[in-house]
Structure 1
Amino acid sequence: MSMTVATEQIDRIVWNQHQDPFEVLGPHLLEQNGKGAKWAVRAYLPNADAVVVILPDKRKEYPMQSVHHPHFFECTIETPELANYQLRIKEGDHERVIYDPYAFRSPVLTDFDIHLFAEGNHHRLYEKMGAHVTEVNGVKGVYFAVWAPNARNVSVLGDFNNWDGRKHQMRKFGNGVWDLFVPGLGYGEHYKYEIKNWNGHIYEKSDPYGFYQEVRPKTASIVANLDSYQWNDADWMEKRRHTDLLTQPISVYECHLGSWMHASSAEPAKLPNGEEEPVVIAAELNPGARFLTYRELAAKLIPYVKDLGFTHIELLPIAEHPFDGSWGYQVTGFYAPTSRFGSPEDFMYFVDQCHANGIGVIVDWVPGHFPKDGHGLAFFDGTHLYEHADPRKGEHKGWGTLVFNYGRNEVRNFLVANAVFW
């Protein structure tokens, strides 16, 4: 078949150099008249031997042909409308059927979201950026969005594509935000962003707005549901709302959850459903000790604090951090409660139980600096994005950490929204 797209455009997709793959991939209207319309459907599928477009509603199939490159496929379809088609992909002895990510063009982020972000005034930006399970055109999946204005290309990586950055290339739109909706994904998916600078150097980054990360030393983000937990602290919240806290006595118990108490690594904690929690060793030099989970801490720490007469627990930073010895003060996952002690839902349970026992919770927040770990915010898009480029402004020499560039609206927005989030 004759090609309906320039070979230069195909090469940019194949070499992962296109900033808007939707211009090439997915459905494209070629002709339209009173009788109907003619579409071209294009897909770049590394490892695919053969691809067929399926129209489920019409029960029709259209074999695709490889053009210009053995893994770039195209076919034409005559139909008035083309939506929610599927691709049947043959890879060796295996076949799978997927919805085409490049058939879903509507971003979850609106122009108004981008406008507020550029101003530094989108205080609930975490509801749009990051990874969110959603539904587009009746199909469920995960919407990914990340800010990397100086990147040449960005892809989303995960178990779902064998961590291959060619397979889910993102598009760049307003204010340097990159996005992609990947149908068929759900909660629990592990992912990162593959970010390339203009020299082709690759940086694999955790999600700055991710709600959950793997237990260190692993660094992938995990798609998490923050809406599934059923809170039971309505009475506490109502009482707090009508109390003048400045006139009430307060007594604070400051605590680092990772060192307050340990348990035997030979005795794993149990989840509410009876399954064993993964064992997280507290220190390499003491492999027989493990961290308590958020749920175990709720059972042990809260009665202890309550018996001593404290009104509040102040937690040393519990946002995700790679180095135990930092006590949480070198954060890489600002929106993720550390997975050392369990899931975000487990942390919610801990707070809920504190409130049920009349104990307030104060969380130490670290907006002053961040570490240089390769998966974190440092040199995020191949440039000094979150930090100052000038090391005289942008580095804490004593700590070996980087200082946020508070003069950049988007960086301030990241931090203010983070305070609102907690």
Structure 2
Amino acid sequence: VQRLVGEVPRSRTAQYGRAKFELITSEASCLRSLDIAVEHFQLSSKLQALLSGQERQWLFSKLAGVRDVSRRFLAELEEDLEQDIMEFDVCGILLSHLPDFRAVYIPYVTNQSYQEKTFKRLIRDNPQFREVVEELESDPLCQRLSLKSFLILPFQRITRLKLLVQNILKRSSPGSHEERKASKAFESLAELMSECNENVRRLKSTEALITLNQKIDFESKIFPLVSQSRRLVKDGQLTEIEVANSSLSKRKTASRTIYLHLFNDCILLSRNKENGRFSVFDHTHSRNVIVENRRVRGHRSARFVFQLTLIQNHRGNLREFLLRANTQTEKLRWISALTPIKQEIDLIQHYDSKQVQCLKPYKAAEHDELSLEKADILIVIQGGWDGWEEGYRLSDGERGWFPSDHVDPIRGTNARIRNIEERLRVRRMADQLQTSAAPP
């Protein structure tokens, strides 16, 4: 690839051509790392001897399959490049290989939680495993990278491929056949990423539901908690403020803790019990919930307060709760989680909104947070307090909270406008593809 890139005439080293070459060189680099992951780590006789069959499956999953798919993909890219250095079809080849990508990436990514738990347990409980891993990592072949770095490569690769295809799409001529093909490849990768993420969320949610179900006691009618369609949106402890005579004026107040479990279809209100258990005293469907920002005047500790109203609880009654968070950001995150919103936003209204670009990756630690990859561009919806902001990622429309110190403001007006225009262009192409694919 590098030899052929050097032969490209300067007149053809335009942005579109460079974007296509970047995808090929990136895939070649990825394959080299995958070869190390499989040949040096997965197939290590020392490592194999320490692992059971189940541990090998949880630790490496379909890593060899990911490597094989990458190898076939790169081979076809290089063959097409050799045949026609000026018009090689990167996006068309990618589309033809997407079924193979789907077959290996979805199970590999879905296995992520088992992989992480297995790796941590082996490092913690098996000194021999730790020693062998350190020995393998010290090999110059690894270039000081850890086994964990190689294991997370497939998770990063789909995101990287999507960004590279998006770069090709941005630089293709509007209305051209290349633009249409790049748009289809971009949307297909977005769907694959969405399916991977949804599988991970579903698995983690099911595990969380099963664990939570063992810790919950219902004071009244038992609520069937475990469901395949149910997922945890946000949970946490707040302070319930009780105001005498139900007035928000300057009255005598009292407080006690309350725990909320918010799911996509319902909400549970609990009191903490011993040994990490919860006693659910109220619950209702999420459509029966209203949340409002409130203030309790004359109460020094009543900052960061909001009102949660159950229009109709499980007994058919109206219930109101004044809840206090620990910080302004925590309050806003609860209000956002409890307020039904559409994932997409009207970008036309956000030309003047603050935009930021990710400087270092961030892995979401809570359900309402947004994982970030380097170079992600986001429109800031709200925040700036306590080091957190809520944003809308332009590449895929995902929305969530992230730490402010992982991003940097985009100050140029023209750059912000261009970012929104490029997202709108991708949207238009996606709409056109869906319209053309729809049955008459």
TM-score, normalised by the number of residues in structure 1: 0.30
Q: Which has the higher strand share?
A: 1
Higher gyration radius (CA):
2
Higher relative contact order (CA 8 A, sep 6+): 1
TM-score by length of 2: 0.29
